[in-house]
Amino acid sequence: MEIVETIVKIADFIVFPEFSGWLAVLKFFILGVSIFTIFFIIWVMAIRTDFLKWWLIWDIKEFFTYRPYGLPKVTKKWAKIRERLKNDSESERKSAIIEADALLDKSLKDLQIGGTTLEESLRKRIGPYTISNIEEVKRAHRIRNKIVHQPDFSLTLKEAEEVLDIYEKALKDLGML
């Protein structure tokens, strides 16, 4: 019986008109705490994680430089791919072509041009207005597929250099190099 009386007293306190001023104060207090909590969460996201910094820096850098944000990473990766050709190993040449193909695929995805696979992107989504040597890129991708699917596929240094030149031209057309 005592619980019911307590609930009735609480209901009377909330509904009773003389105490509406206290409810307004309570509402403003809860609103203030909510706003503080939202700002605290945003502050923690900005300071403790690099999420907001990353997006802000990315946008500002792209805006002022007119070049994609990840360009230095792509340039370093491309230099490492080119470095692989200096070894006289056929496996290094094959690895260089596979990595170059993957780099082009990732670049297309980063620029939000690509489809689910590079082959789909080249076939359906990209034309000569985007990559001027699109037919050569398709041929280079077929060579990459032969490397991956045919273990006994032979690749000379000259062929590897030609294929990498094709990928380099495509990456330059995309503004990634």
pLDDT tens track for 6-46: 888 877 776 665 656 676 777 778 888 999 999 888 777 76
Per residue in 64-109, pLDDT (tens digit) is 766 665 677 888 899 999 998 888 888 999 999 999 999 998 888 8
| Cβ proximity of 105 and 118 under 8 Å | yes
| Cβ proximity of 154 and 93 under 8 Å | no
| Cβ proximity of 129 and 169 under 8 Å | no
- Which residue pairs from 122-128 have beta carbons closer than 8 angstroms and sit at least 24 positions apart in sequence? none
Task: Determine the straight-line distance between the first and last CA of the chain, rounded to whole angstroms.
Answer: 80
Report whether pLDDT(117) > 80: yes
